[in-house]
Chains A and B, each alone.
Chain A
Amino acid sequence: MAPPPASPKPGADPISKFFASLAAPGQIATFAGESATLRFDVTSGSKMQHWYLTINNGSVSITRDNSPADAIVQLERPYLEDIVTGRLNAQAAMLRQVLTVDGSMAALMMFQRCLPGPRGSTGRVAPISSQTVMAQRRPM
């Protein structure tokens, strides 16, 4: 098994930062009318940390208390750091089995909707001319 990616410098905690940003007022417009609680079991060496992400009728709160969850998401800390910073796609991580889900897949889908895209994605690309297309393609 490949080693998990290296952690960033101490002091920066992208996971706490990400969860805090989710709970900030006005941040999330993607959860109208939906509710779910996800528990994240995040391992780092022998330590395990929990986060609870609760989406309640569109508003998001983050706790670290023990409460019942619709889905339990387990993964190692460096992978979660990559996911919340857009370096790793959560669905791909699940298929690769670095992230496992127990419970509601619909809840995981809600979580995925608030993740950032990959760094460097601009949404723009230079136009291509007809001449270029014709040069790349075989003639009739």
Chain B
Amino acid sequence: MSDQLVQILEGNTFVVSDDRGDIEASRTDPTGLFSFDTRFLSRWVLTVNGQRLTALSTDDLQYFQTRFFLVPGSGTVYVDSKLSVIRQRAVADGFHEELRVLNHESKPVDLTLRMEAGSDFADLFEVKDALKKKGSYHTAVADGNLVLSYRRDSYTRETWISSTTPAQLDEHGLTFAITVPPHGEWSTELEVVASAGAEDGSTSGPIGIRGDGHRHVRQDMARGLEKWLRRAPSVECDWEAVERIYRRCMTDLAALRFSTLTMPGRSLPAAGLPWFMTIFGRDSIFTSLQALPFTSELASTTLMALAERQGTRIDDFRDEDPGRILHEMRYGEMTAFEERPHSPYYGNADATALYVVLLDEYERWTGDTKLVRDLERAARAALNWIDEYADLQGNGYVSYQRRNAKTGLENQCWKDSWDSISYRNGDLPGFPRATCELQGYAYDAKVRGARLARHVWKDTALADRLEKEAADLKRRFNRDFWVEDGEYFAVAIDGDGRQVDSLTSNIGHLLWSGIVDKSKAKAIARHLLGPKLFSGWGVRTLAEGEARYNPIGYHVGTVWPFDNSFIAWGLRRYGFRDEAAAIMAGIMEAAEIFDGRLPEAFGGYQRSSTMYPVQYPTACSPQAWSTGAPLLLLRTGLGLEPQGDKLIVDPALPMRMGNLELLDLPGRWKHIDAFGRGRVDTDRFTLR
């Protein structure tokens, strides 16, 4: 098929079509019009006099709008067409498509235009796993609309298709018998509405919610994007790639904004386009942390939205416990019929501690103590979860083991693929598993929770207790996880209390959390920038030399930009300025090669052997926390650290950056400018 295009609107409605604007999805092919995790159009094919069209060019006008320039014919031979067709599509609750036919001849021309339309109403999970539908399909022509519908019990999803110029409608599409005047033009506007099949197909939205109006307005989207970019701090840098990367990141972050049904008008970062346009606890929190110096709205919305859906009961199917922060929320048919647990699913062991970390970091930047007070209940419940529900082995460590063995997640840490956690010899540990970074997050949550308890909630007893627990956790952790013969921390403790002893990037997150004893930090930094972990572009997920190491293995050898941005933050925290600058240099240079848009992961090959970073094949781009990585690296490079009402600037930048300026950084200091000059020679790390 032709090249795929993705177009998106804020929220979770998106279209994936070929470069002609056509959609011809098979059961497992991820093209179509999707909204709320359901495919509302799987067929949308335009013909002129029975002929398919050929794309001359395609313009991505905005992330929610695309224009296709087409001519009739197959495109296999040179076409000197007397006709042009322009399709301009914008995504809303469904999409809006303007169709124009231009006659370049000096006589009128009679044409038959046909738009084939159909839908399989597949759930995203069904597209992924090639599953069969259980309901029935209906098609009706009523009042100038072609209505495609799907029903299973009371569950109804409909696609309403209409045209502003009269069309002949049948069950498979729309036909226009038209005459285009000499050197003239004919046009129509097609409206495709995704609906949950209320009496009035246009008002209930794609999942049947009335009230709180979540209808999107295209003009507002364009204005919203401009405003978003205008309000963001500006970046100036002698290495001009940095300005381009920054602009790309802020634009992609705008496209990744997602409004929940409970908070229309506010946005949080969804995890990735297009398949992960939903709330993910972990991804939304990490991205909010990365973006905090540039925008705090993502963080505050994330904190509120996750609190609303915080676990309150024991539910084994959803891996839910009281206080647990959700993992993933979905709205499709399989979730509706409880064939999948995503309503929401809670199977992660990190987002709950990270929730408290984000709340504290948010307050340090913004001074918004009101939100910290409003979310006191949620934060206390999260802190309580760490001790009451996460210590599955009774050994004082956060562990995970899914209770939903059928559709739950096996690895409930950010490295969530099946083989991500292994011993040096490649064996996989049993369950429960206590991965090391979870202990770091828990430690940080206690330290930061104590600060909030002392200064905002005015609960000294809680603050004292949390500080004591944190100190105790740190002491035990440095004893139990330390791999003596390797001088690093084990990636996990298994169900028997044994160290899972492979060397991984997880040790970098430990620096970020502050759980590492000062005396051990130097060895950790040496490993992170050493030849087994550092590729020259960044830190590999798993060290070269470990049995499962594979430079293009998802979590077993690739380099993740997001991972590296937090590792750089951790290195700065322990005073390893040059090492942090080296990671900044590697990842920013990779970002330059990827035209500002970092992939989720790239190959862990030694930099000197490939010259270019090798992209890991993934359907999801941009990915939120990859988008956030350069933002966090700008922060760590300049050494930005809120301290009371001041912002400390302490740059340690790679030499090639030259001068770097971040202007109008918002925060409790109102607005501040930060300057730095690149003085660190990072070549000794990156060009090894």
Contact = CB atoms under 8 A, between A and B. Distances in A.
Interface string A64-103: 0000000100000000000000100101101111101111
A43 to B, nearest CB: 13
Contacts of A101: 209-211
A52 to B, nearest CB: 17
A130 B389 CA distance: 23
B261 A105 contact: yes
Interface in A107-134: 109-110, 113-118, 120-125, 127-134
B208 A106 contact: no
Given A29-B377, A95-B331, A118-B316, A134 B209 contact: no
B312 A71 contact: no
A6 interface: no
Interface stretch (B185-193, B425-433, B561-569): B425-433
A96 B336 contact: yes
A127 B320 CA distance: 18
Given A127-B401, A140-B547, A95 B427 contact: no
B609 interface: no
B683 interface: no
Interface in B308-334: 308-310, 312-318, 320-321, 331-333
A137 interface: yes
A115 B209 contact: no
B314 A133 contact: no
B262 interface: yes
B377 A30 contact: yes
B376 interface: yes
Contacts of B374: 33
A132 B430 contact: yes
Given A1-B154, A96-B154, A133 B336 contact: no
Nearest to A93: B336
B337 A91 contact: no
Contacts, number: 136
Contacts of B210: 100-103
A116 B331 CA distance: 21
B555 to A, nearest CB: 14
A91 B317 contact: no
Contacts of B432: 127
B343 interface: yes
A2 interface: yes
Interface residues of A, number: 47
Interface string B223-260: 00000000000000000000000000000000000001
A133 B428 contact: yes
Contacts of A30: 312, 377
Contacts of A71: 211
A20 interface: no
Q: Per DSSP, are chain A's interface residues mostly helix, strand or loop, or mixed?
A: loop
B3 to A, nearest CB: 34
B314 A117 contact: yes
B428 A130 contact: yes
B495 A128 contact: yes
Contacts of B405: 125
A97 B313 CA distance: 23
B155 A95 contact: yes
A114 B208 contact: no
B137 interface: no
A35 interface: no
A48 interface: no
A33 B377 contact: yes
A140 B212 CA distance: 52
Contact of A92 (B316, B343, B428): B343
B155 A96 contact: yes
Given A104-B212, A127-B401, A32 B312 contact: no
B669 interface: no
A130 B494 contact: yes
A45 B210 CA distance: 24
A1 B419 CA distance: 43
Contacts of B495: 127-130
A122 to B, nearest CB: 7
A131 B335 CA distance: 33
Nearest to A118: B315
Contacts of A121: 313-317, 403
A96 B263 CA distance: 22
Given A127-B430, A140-B426, A95 B343 contact: yes
Given A117-B315, A123-B314, A133-B428, A32 B401 contact: no
Nearest to B329: A91
B654 interface: no
Nearest to B393: A127
A100 B494 CA distance: 45
Contacts of A102: 210-211
Contacts of B401: 125, 127-128
A114 to B, nearest CB: 7
A105 B262 contact: yes
A119 B261 CA distance: 29
24 contacts: A29-B377, A30-B312, A33-B374, A92-B337, A95-B343, A96-B337, A97-B155, A98-B153, A100-B208, A103-B210, A103-B212, A104-B211, A104-B212, A105-B260, A105-B262, A109-B262, A115-B313, A117-B313, A118-B315, A121-B313, A121-B314, A130-B495, A132-B430, A140-B426
5 smallest CB-CB distances across A and B, nearest first, come from A95-B336, A117-B313, A117-B315, A32-B377, A91-B343
Interface of B: 153-156, 196, 207-212, 260-263, 308-310, 312-318, 320-321, 331-333, 335-338, 343-344, 374, 376-377, 389, 401-403, 405, 418-419, 426-432, 494-496, 547-548
Given A127-B432, A137-B418, 16 more contacts: A91-B343, A94-B207, A95-B155, A97-B154, A98-B153, A102-B211, A106-B263, A109-B308, A118-B317, A120-B316, A123-B314, A123-B316, A125-B401, A130-B495, A137-B428, A140-B548
